[in-house]
Structure 1
Amino acid sequence: MRAYFHDDLPGDERLPHDTGRSVSTELLKSLGVLHWSVPVDDKGEWEEEIDTIAKDRDYKNRDIIEMSRELLGDSYEEKLQKFLFEHMHEDEEIRYCLGGSGFFDVRDHSTESWIRIHVVKGDLMVLPAGIYHRFTLDTNDKMRTMRLFKDVPKWIAHNRSAETDANPHRVEYLKHFPSSRTTEAV
């Protein structure tokens, strides 16, 4: 996983949009974003480590999803645009990348800047409930991920709006992570 500030320039969001300003693990943690590197191997040894993390964090359910141009065909662009709209969830978003790669952008609420996180095979990432974020594949146009859930699998996006700003999960997020900025770059 590599994190950096997004350049906010128009253009294909599947491109890096890299400012060259890296973001530290500490800054990500101050936003509530967690990360583990769990290499995917052919022997399946990664499953034991994922099971341990799931048990420690009380994740009870999981599924596997795949997104690719080839798999989605004509609906590919529409799906990609849907995920690019800034939104939040009322539950943690947990993704373990089994193959491919993509970008999760999280909003630094202290500055309104986007932080781009490039997720590749072996990255496990947790976004807290209430954080504004968005997702896109990179130019490889495919990603296979395991989603983990604390309860019944669900995925409800609440697009950013005044109403969503007042959502109790968003309000709680801001209380728990009031100021994300002490240092900008690594």
Structure 2
Amino acid sequence: MQIWHMEPFACGDRRLPHHVFPPKKISPDQLCAITGVQSYKIDVDDTLSMKKRLTLVKTERNVNASDFLTINDSITDLNDKLDELYEPMVKDEDLVLLIVEGICYYDVEPEEDEWIRVQCEKGDLIVIPKGLNHRFTVTPKNFVKVQRFFNKLSDTIQG
């Protein structure tokens, strides 16, 4: 997982990194202190270890259901789907996401017009706290598979 401050008004392809200049990277601990976003590295090939970590996080966050979001070039109207997922949103429950394959970005906005980009890859588990403005996109490879966890009493989540 890599984390950095984004350009204030990023132009062009949103799938590019959009670092500020000079780049200003931050650690997962700094990200948590600034935004409340928690992250974990999971060995998705070690099912026992993965199951233990997921059970702990799911219990802490009161999530009991999941689905998969797969983004790839075979999606009809891929650009429209990416536009939809890139729209900033705020959820009223924690967003728990495990990257199963590929690479993507979750951007979080701790202050108005101040975005932090979190590059997630296979094995990254990220928890975006409720009430935090966020958005999602892929890298130029246009491929990611994300397992999204939620409380089944609420609606299925987006992004």
Alignment partner of 2:73 out of 66, 69, 72: 69
* 2:10 pairs with 1:9: yes
C-alpha separation between the residues in 2 aligned to 1:90 and 1:9?
Answer: 27
- TM-score, length of structure 2 as denominator length: 0.86
Gaps of 5+ in 1: 158-186
Q: Match of 2:153?
A: 152
Q: How does 1:42-121 map to 2 (within 5 A)?
A: 43-45=46-48, 46-70=50-74, 72-73=75-76, 75-109=77-111, 112-121=113-122
Question: What TM-score do you get using the length of structure 1 for normalisation?
Answer: 0.75
Task: Provide closer, same or farther for how the CA distance between residues 105 and 77 of structure 1 changes in structure 2, counting only shifts above 3 A.
Answer: same
Contact residue 61 and residue 153 of structure 1 kept, 8 A: no
State the shift of 1:153 in Å.
Answer: 5.1
Q: Identity of aligned pairs, percent?
A: 24
5+ residue gaps, structure 2, are none
Which entry has the higher C-alpha Rg, 1 or 2? Answer: 1
- Call closer, same or farther: CA 1:57–1:86 in 2, change over 3 Å: closer
- CA-to-aligned-CA distance 1:87-111 (integer Å, 9 cap, x gap): 21111111100001110110121x6
- What is the CA–CA distance in structure 2 between the aligned matches of 1:123 and 1:24, rounded to whole Å? 14
Structure 2: distance between partners of 1:156 and 1:100: 20
Aligned CA RMSD, in angstroms, stands at 1.8
